[in-house]
Copies of this chain bind each other. A is one copy, B any other.
Amino acid sequence: MSELALLAEKADAADELAPVRSRFVLDDVVYLDGNSLGALPAVVPDRVADVVRRQWGELRIRSWEESGWWTAPERIGDRIAPLVGAAPGQIVVGDSTSVNVFKALVAAVRMAGEGRDEILVDASTFPTDGYIAESAARLTGRTLRAVTPAEVPSALSGRTAAVLLNHVDYRTGRLHDLPALTAAVHAAGALAVWDLCHSAGALPVGLDEHGVDLAVGCTYKYLNGGPGSPAYLYVRRELQPRFDSPLPGWNSHADPFGMSPSYAPAAGAPRGRVGTPDILSMLALEAALEVWDGVSVSAVRAKSLALTDFFLKCVAARTEPGRVEPVTPERHEERGSQIALRCADAGEVMKRLIARGVVGDFRHPDVLRFGFTPLYVSFRDVERAARVLGEVLA
């Protein structure tokens, strides 16, 4: 057994999160694509079957009340809250991330007031955030300016209404400094909107602690909610009374079954709701969140860094110098829970890795992306992935 394999074995033996792996349905594949679609939590299939057969099939319409369907968006929001450092009552689940970016950004611009006519958006953002930011700017009569997160402090001005940033860059895995950037945005009198897709469930976020104004995130990556599971919207409690949604659907009405022709927004997190929630996907997510019982985000973060450190070490040992180049920062303070490697023939390499049971993904034009979900990825997985990568690259 190689030295790295021995190290992996030791690390697994000492890993306090190792038992959590059994809460997932896994096979002999090394699955390093949990930052795209999280693995299936073992509790989900039976729960979904119950939702379909009993709640829908037998109780039917009664389930809106008796099975808690109606209140699911805010109930599940409260289940996500501790994972992102939020007190209850500030998160609502529903719609896609894109739709929630739209709600958050338009609402932020409205809160900033008429005098502020510019929106800043992370130039390296996942594309949808940029597209939606452009639409929000167009519809609210603001201008949109794309800047890198590093440029944000100098780009801020009295014109800035809101800034839309990604906590972790989807491509490079770079972790941005949420506390410092939020403080800079606030110092300029603007609102900070964060996209947590690549951080929630992988590292501490501290929404309340750092005074984030609004945030959105998906639930199908590190939160393992299933394909296209609904996203969430966080609105800081003090801002909720001023949250003026551009999508004021009947589910966000103060008295939805009053069927009033005039709109009156609900108080609190439900103000972020829109239409009828997709119950099957939503309750699958609720079940999936049970894997977090007894798990601390700080333990997850510690393991995440250990996994990515170990992967970088193994890759360095197993590949020719210069064959791949890490794009993800070395410094822990700047690293999310993935490692991106630049590699000229990345598309072809990833195909061969997948054929050999190591699943990551390829990001155009030349990035191999490996996500490390601390709840189910082991150090042995990491060693094997780097070993197979070395063989494929050789």
Contact = CB atoms under 8 A, between A and B. Distances in A.
Interface in A51-107: 52-53, 55-58, 60-61, 63-64, 69, 95-99, 102, 106
A302 interface: no
A37 B123 CA distance: 43
A380 interface: no
A272 interface: no
Contacts of A146: 261
Interface string A109-146: 00000000000000101111011101100011000001
Nearest to A27: B58
A139 B131 CA distance: 17
Given A61-B37, A247-B99, A247-B135, A280 B226 contact: yes
Number of this chain's copies in the assembly equals 2
Nearest to A364: B259
Contacts of A61: 33, 36-37, 359, 361
B126 A250 contact: yes
A289 interface: no
B40 A57 contact: yes
A275 B139 contact: no
B36 A44 contact: no
Contact of A96 (B31, B274, B364): B274
**Most B C-beta atoms less than 10 A away, residue of A56, A63, A259:** A56
A377 to B, nearest CB: 13
Contacts of A160: none
Interface in A264-310: 274-282, 284
A252 to B, nearest CB: 8
A227 interface: yes
Contacts of A139: 106, 139-140, 246
B249 A359 contact: no
A108 B181 CA distance: 39
A19 interface: no
Contacts of A53: 25, 40, 45
Interface stretch (A4-12, A151-159, A184-192, A228-236): A228-236
Interface in A329-361: 359, 361
Contact of A276 (B31, B218, B253, B274): B218
A49 interface: yes
A128 B220 contact: no
B52 A45 contact: yes
A258 interface: yes
